Amino acid sequence: METDQAWLPTAAFRAVGSRHTLVHGTGPLVDTVHRELAAGCGRFGGSVVRGAEGGGSCDLVLELGGDAEALGDEGFTYAREVGRTTVTAAGQRGLLYGLFHVVRLGEEAFHGERAQEIHRPTTALRMLDHWDNVAVHPVMGQVERGYAGGSLFWADGWARGDLERVRAYGRLIAACGINAVAVNNVNVHETEAHLLTDRIGEVADIAGALRPYGIRTHLSVTFAAPVVLGGLPTADPLDEAVRAWWAGATARVYEAIPDFGGYVVKADSEGRPGPFADGRSHADGANMLAAAVAPHGGTVHWRAFVYDHRQDWGDRTTDRARAAYDHFVPLDGEFAPNAVLQVKHGPMDFQVREPVSPLIGAMPGTRLAVEVQATQEYTGQQRHVCWLGPMWSEVLRFRPEEGVSVGELARGGLVAVSNVGDDPFWTGHPLGQANLYAFGRLAWNPDADPGAVLDEWIGLTFPEAPERLVAGLHDVLDGSWRTYEKYTAPLGVGWMVQPGHHYGPSVDGYEYSPWGTYHFADRDGIGVDRSAATGTGYAAQYAKPWAELYESPETCPDELLLFFHHVSYGHVLKSGKTVIQHIYDTHFEGVEEVEEAREVWASLAGLVVPARHARVTELFEEQLRSAREWRDQINSYFFRKSGVPDAHGRRIY
């Protein structure tokens, strides 16, 4: 099957491709702009010339120039006067983003007048992390938590010889504003460790395929590299030989990839090596690597996902949610300027509902990047429709303290774990493409309205879609995250998934395990007491007003109640329902909503490319089966625990 064109189908270029365009400026990315336009014009009858300013009778002018200070390397201005649309950028990347802006607008870009607008990304780094293994891992497969086939970059233990799809990927993600990609798993196994040294040429080939679209390549490295690859007796970050080893290895990386972005590091986390082994801090570790990349303009993304995964489940005082804050806040101000602390958006691990991590906002002296998960590990594994734009938007607009949002605090970048593989639809579930697109657009502008982003995605992916199709896609996608939440884990409790692969219900799957992930349900109630007064104290990690709001079950928002409090099944929510009735109702509703979405999708047959329609239809069968399984297991479990019957007498086993 041919690769799906996602949000850049040929028809998306109809408006620009039928115009007369002047491209002014030189450089490799300007060449890309020209190539894109030439291809569009070849298709739709327009023309594109490269030349001097002015442009005579051109409809569209894309020019390098403009105010470098106001626009930076990535910004552009866009203006429309009668008969002429002009995009001006100070940097080549800006020109490329300006072109894609015009493509997004389509015909609208050429009608009427519009005063000059400035477009500039809020966040300088907008990155996709691929958890791809080069070799197939015996447990995790090729892509850890990957639900879209094999790796885009690696096959049969090597970088793919044919990088055509990597080029196409670069083009797609540049069109939604992504400018960085990390090409291998943060769990760096032995084969993958060698990418840093003797196999850097393969990474360079991938970087070469992504570069024409303004995308810099990053690499995940193991903290133990000096031992594993360099034969040194230690990886101690304060050891001179270790530092020299990293400096040398890094210089060779930059010889191979002059615009290399830098390293991504998972250290002292889930069994990965790190500075704790030598009694050093995470700032020591990160700063050593930051020193190695600094002379070359690189950055280290040091992950804050550090917690004890060998916890005693009987010990109710240890709380995994506290871990990142407890480890890192004392180190605030100690990280080098080019060391970025990469924080998962929630304190646990990409559950369908979590509060925003209290680390975000608590480290004013540190550059933070915020990590979200496009790959749907806990949100249906790309077998379920789950449009995550609204969830990410809630996170990015959350204000840890008055006045400043998470989107603004993410000075070190926004990062998503990619949901892409070698699947012809890119994302396994064809509608998962909307998540990838939305991440790029929200990373560019964290304040963007996710509904408007979805409209853009629909407009590009389904050009000239009739109103019925647009409405149908909204019906299927708009509320799908909340639907997923309804039929899975209620009120922020999380983790009721099958251990290991994390798909499907298992209420007690992680209840008596060392991973620190509990719901504490008993015959009287459910939830984790994270209050400062009687619980783990996690609620106090927030600044005001959140610490106070989360502290009491009376003020804690319903959707997070069981994350912060252990309450009785009869506790009355702000909605007026008891917790147990909420559990029953949402699980019945969630399944009904999947049934409705499936019907809507069926009614769109004939309006969507048949292969795409068929794939989603097939996946809806699985989603519905799974949603029913969740409903029945969750409802039965809590009915049996609590003994409270459903107020509406529906069937519970």
Binding residues for ligand GCV (CB under 6 A): 131, 144-145, 186-187, 266, 270, 305, 349, 377
Could you give the CA distance from residue 77 to residue 68 in angstroms, rounded to a whole number?
11
For the question of residue 349 being annotated catalytic, the response is: yes
Q: How far is the CB of 187 from ligand GCV (least distance, A)?
A: 5
Separation CA 92–CA 75 (nearest Å) = 9
Catalytic residue among 371, 377, 529, 551: 377
User: Strand pairing of 299-303 and 262-265?
Assistant: parallel
Q: Is residue 585 flagged as an active site residue?
A: no
* Distance between CA atoms of residues 289 and 299, nearest Å: 9
State the nearest-atom distance from the C-beta of 374 to ligand GCV, in Å. Answer: 13
Separation between Cα atoms, residue 623 and residue 629, nearest integer Å = 10
Which residues, in sequence order, are CB contacts of 545 under 8 Å at separation 6+?
none
Q: Is 621 a catalytic residue?
A: no
Determine which one of 53, 117, 255, 270 is catalytic.
270
**Beta-carbon neighbour count of residue 496 at 10 Å?**
24
Exposed / middle / buried, residue 402 (Cβ in 10 Å: 0-12, 13-18, 19+): exposed
In the complex with ligand GCV, which residue's Cβ is closer, 236 or 377? 377
Contact between residue 517 and residue 320 where contact means Cβ atoms under 8 Å apart: yes
Could you write out the DSSP letters of every residue in 321-365? GGHHHHHHGGGTT-S-TTEEEEEESSSSSS-SS-PPPTTTTS-TT
314 contacts: CB under 8 Å, gap ≥ 6: none
Residue 217 or residue 220: which is nearer to ligand GCV going by CB?
A: 220
Question: Which residues touch 109 (CB under 8 Å, ≥6 apart)?
Answer: 15, 16, 60, 80, 85, 102
CB 87 within 8 A of CB 81: no
Q: Which residues contact 53 (CB under 8 A, 6 or more apart)?
A: 24, 63, 65
Q: Which CB atom, from 87 or from 374, has the smaller least distance to ligand GCV?
A: 374
Residue closer to ligand GCV, measured from CB, 307 or 481: 307
- The CB-of-544 to ligand GCV minimum distance in angstroms stands at 30
Run of H or E residues at 622: helix 610-642
Nearer to ligand GCV by Cβ, of 62 and 348: the residue is 348
Q: How far is the CB of 270 from ligand GCV (least distance, A)?
A: 6
* Closer by beta carbon to ligand GCV, 383 or else 631: 383
Question: For residues 60 and 372, which CB has a smaller minimum distance to ligand GCV in the complex?
Answer: 372
Residue 430 Cβ vs ligand GCV, minimum distance, rounded to whole Å: 24
Element spanning 158, H or E: strand 158-159
d(CA 580, CA 572): 9
Task: Name the token pair of 576.
Answer: 């007026």
Closest to ligand GCV by CB, 74 vs 354, is: 354
Report, in angstroms and rounded to the nearest whole number, the Rg of the chain calculated over CA atoms: 25
**Rounded CA gap, 213 and 111, in Å?**
28
Q: How far is the CB of 401 from ligand GCV (least distance, A)?
A: 26
In whole angstroms, how close is the CB of 185 to ligand GCV at the nearest point?
A: 6
Q: Give CA angle at 149 (146, 151), nearest 5°.
A: 75
The residue (of 132 and 529) whose beta carbon lies closer to ligand GCV is: 132
Nearer to ligand GCV, 270 or 308 (CB): 270
- Rounded least distance, CB 309 to ligand GCV, Å: 8
Q: Which residues contact 382 (CB under 8 A, 6 or more apart)?
A: 147, 148, 375, 376, 419, 427, 428, 429, 432
Contact 446, 633 (CB under 8 A): no
Q: Hey, what are 265's tokens?
A: 């590091």
The helix or strand, by DSSP H or E, that contains position 137, with its residue range, turns out to be strand 132-137
DSSP state of 572: B
Instruction: State which residue, 186 or 526, has the beta carbon closest to ligand GCV.
Output: 186
- Side-chain-facing half-sphere of 394: CA atoms under 13 Å: 14
Residue 504 Cβ, how far from ligand GCV at the closest point, in Å?
15
* Beta carbon of residue 144, minimum distance to ligand GCV (angstroms, whole number): 5
Q: Which of 63, 236, 319, 349 is catalytic?
A: 349
- As measured in angstroms, the least distance from the Cβ of 266 to ligand GCV is 5
3-state secondary structure of 574: coil
* Strand, coil or helix: 302: strand
- Which of the residues are catalytic? 270, 349, 377
